[in-house]
Structure 1
Amino acid sequence: MSGTVAVIGGGVIGLSVAWRAAQAGWTATVYDPHVGSGASWVAGGMLAPLSEGWPGEDAVLDVGAASLDRWPEFGAELERLTGEALFTSQSSMTVALDAADAADLRTVAEWLDGRGYRLDLLTRAQIRAAEPGLAPTIRLGLSAEAEFAVDNRALVRALRAAGEAAGVRFVAEAVTDPDELAADRVVIAAGTASARLWPGLPVRPVKGEVLRLRHRPGVAPAPSRTIRASVHGRPVYLVPRGDGLVVGATQHESGEDTAVTVAGVRDLILDAQSLMPSLGEYELHEATAGLRPMSPDNLPILGRVSEKVVVAAGQGRNGILLTPLSADAVVAELAGSPLAEVAACRPDRFGVTLPEVGTTVPDTRVRMG
């Protein structure tokens, strides 16, 4: 492949697209005034498509699992090229605090087993043996050895460094109209801003507050794996980092609001302490909020919306997980050979009629609704 491609958006999706496109022979430019400063910088870094699955969400599971399969090679290549250490845990455990949540874990385990994914149910004693710092009141656990986590901020740094080494150019400017860019192809990978760049694109912001805690001397160490649960109907996760934990995340349909609220911090701390009582002795180092770019069906939007423009948006709360698959899908689309693995993610599932390759499109603003 050869030609020029402009990537609008410098989060992990845009950075990975530009890097992979440059490797494939494209002359790539990333447009973003603040590279890596949005949801990519706030994220927890979980890669958990299996334990987050639910019966009936087969397409979401398939897409997430396809990206998880790419992560070991994708991450290892980035680590080799940049020297960044990306991986922070090698498995995950979802735990239940009451009988209803335990029943849900059994339902998920049975569904996944039927889909070819074997996850282990853990008793109270097995949980305590594996993670002695967790609360003794936890009833049941679901262990996913294939799931792990990455340091999202190290990922941002690595993708930028790898892109620069591959020849990607960075322009610290905001783009308001993709049609004004002179590149042969344009990729919209601007998170929640993607809907403004392509009117009608069904991407909405969902706010998520996240805490970063630092370990203090004499306090119980963080779990060795990612811990997930639902507490009073609220999802909570603990993701290990070298110096402590990431705790997340709230979910609020609050437009463009990124303020961290007292209630949000309170709920996260109380819910996290119900999983790990010693967490209250950690240092509260940082509280941030980001905007997840959600789609109506929780699948990303990956594909061409005009002859010139390709969209890579709507990754929602799984932006880090879906990074390698999104990049591969866009590069395949640029080459005119869409990936079969992302057939369920095509933009035309929202009623868009796409032009054939080589046709003239008088009005490139295809409306989605």
Structure 2
Amino acid sequence: MTTQLPHADVAVVGGGVIGLAAAWRARQRGLEVVVLDRGDLGAGTSRAAAGMLAPVGEADAQERGLLACNLESARRWPAFAQELADVTGVDVGYRACGTLLLARDRDEAEHVERERALRERLGLRVERLLGSQARRRESALAPTLRLALALPDDHAVEPVRVVAALIEACTRAGVHLHPQTPVDDLSALDADRVVIAAGAWSGRLGAGVPVRPVKGQALRLRDPAGPGLCEHVLRFEGGYLVPRGDGRYYLGATMEERGFDTAVTALGVYELLREAAELLPGVLELELDEAFAGLRPGTPDNAPIVGTDPRDERVVWATGHFRNGILLCPVTADLVADELTGARPEHAFRPERFMNDSTDTTATESARA
């Protein structure tokens, strides 16, 4: 880092939705805050995100703590979106659209039935739909659709708009924003506390924190005739389609362990379109606006790393959100602000769980490569 920066109470390394939201909340607590990003603000993982708020769709029986946090953050999203709109005038595209989990054949239908049973055991709202019932809700679905689950509590926002709103909110609050300012050495930062919110790149800033990049290829599609192809988020084996409500659609996303590779491949694009078209044939009539790839920050247990580093009280981690970064934005920002102002909120995602003699540092070393 070569840019000379003024002293701040808090330096946030990473200008995606997590870093920006944490910076905004910290500034609201009266702290002087600077945000630094290796590229343009929000141009990395946040820009590549689908924006699904899917605590029910992502529910896993082995991840009860994560489920509880996902549900709480989803509950906070309407107020969070409204607060951003009130402060900035920016609509973040929050859509209480619900989600349909779809099955094409018997094997997928059996999987969907298991998913239904799991969510009912967890006390989550689901509704079983025959193919004909699902098509009454989304008429463009293929007539061969076998079964569906309605997940009424899973919704969506538009990440690009969320980034724009957070940048404006930070600017109005007096947060100092510094894009194109890479940080390689935390000791060079003139700040009392440092928040590491660098997504998949976080592992390069601290040993023992196993954050790795998980590649996801995706497409942005557009219907020049406007909205109408579908209204719900559609999830299926191999991907998901997220409508923006105005004729634009996000189709994603692959899951690839490819390090920091962000190349878009013909195979990735083909598989996304093939899987989607089997359930929603009209997707092939859409115009292709963009094909791209992003890097999710994964951890060994698929849960984020949030809290003060037990080896260095100066450092607060806010990373490793994997598939739930947009969803967990409101909760993470509040947790980080609490840490920075002296509280130590109890939760399941503190960095201590990876910092012991048996820690597997393979992922961290991979991130450093």
**TM-score between both structures, scaled by the size of structure 2:** 0.90
Tell me how far apart the structure 2 counterparts of residues 100 and 59 of structure 1 sit (CA, whole Å).
29
Comparing 150-159 with 43-52, greater Cα deviation is found at 43-52
Comparing 82-91 with 304-313, greater Cα deviation is found at 82-91
Tell me how far apart the structure 1 counterparts of residues 279 and 170 of structure 2 sit (CA, whole Å).
39
Aligned partner (choices 335, 347, 350) of residue 354 of structure 2: 350
Comparing 257-266 with 57-66, greater Cα deviation is found at 57-66
- What corresponds to 2:144 in structure 1? 137
Q: How does 1:260-339 map to 2 (within 5 A)?
A: 260-305=264-309, 306-339=312-345
Tell me how far apart the structure 1 counterparts of residues 337 and 227 of structure 2 sit (CA, whole Å).
45
Tell me how far apart the structure 2 counterparts of residues 160 and 304 of structure 1 sit (CA, whole Å).
25
* Paired residue type of 1:309: V
Tell me how far apart the structure 1 counterparts of residues 144 and 62 of structure 2 sit (CA, whole Å).
30
| 1:89, distance to aligned residue in structure 2 (A) | 4.7
* Paired residue type of 1:175: V
| 1:85, distance to aligned residue in structure 2 (A) | 2.0
| 1:52, distance to aligned residue in structure 2 (A) | 2.1
Could you tell me which runs of 5 or more consecutive residues in structure 2 were left unpaired when the two chains were aligned.
1-7, 358-363
Comparing 160-169 with 116-125, greater Cα deviation is found at 116-125
- What corresponds to 1:254 in structure 2? 258
- What corresponds to 2:241 in structure 1? 238
SS at match of 2:348: helix
| 1:189-233 deviation digits (Å, cap 9, x = unpaired) | 00111100112310000110110001033x982311100010xxx
1:118 aligned to 2:125? yes
- What corresponds to 1:184 in structure 2? 192
1:59 aligned to 2:65? yes
Q: How does 1:67-216 map to 2 (within 5 A)?
A: 67-86=73-92, 87-172=94-179, 173-216=181-224
- What corresponds to 2:9 in structure 1? 4
Do the aligned partners of residues 281 and 220 (structure 1) sit closer, same or farther apart at CA in structure 2, a change above 3 Å counting? farther
Q: Is the 8 A contact 1:220 1:278 kept in 2?
A: no
| 1:323-360 deviation digits (Å, cap 9, x = unpaired) | 111111111111232333xx21111111349xxxxxxx
Q: After TM superposition, what 4+ stretches of structure 1 lie above 4 angstroms from structure 2?
A: none
Tell me how far apart the structure 1 counterparts of residues 90 and 102 of structure 2 sit (CA, whole Å).
31
Tell me how far apart the structure 1 counterparts of residues 227 and 81 of structure 2 sit (CA, whole Å).
29
Q: Is the 8 A contact 1:216 1:281 kept in 2?
A: no
Q: Is the 8 A contact 1:222 1:244 kept in 2?
A: no
Tell me how far apart the structure 2 counterparts of residues 131 and 243 of structure 1 sit (CA, whole Å).
15
Tell me how far apart the structure 1 counterparts of residues 101 and 66 of structure 2 sit (CA, whole Å).
18
Comparing 93-102 with 37-46, greater Cα deviation is found at 93-102
Q: Is the 8 A contact 1:89 1:226 kept in 2?
A: no
| 1:140-196 deviation digits (Å, cap 9, x = unpaired) | 111111111001100110010011111110123111111221111110000111100
Do the aligned partners of residues 136 and 292 (structure 1) sit closer, same or farther apart at CA in structure 2, a change above 3 Å counting? same
**Percent identical:** 44
Could you tell me which runs of 5 or more consecutive residues in structure 1 were left unpaired when the two chains were aligned.
354-367
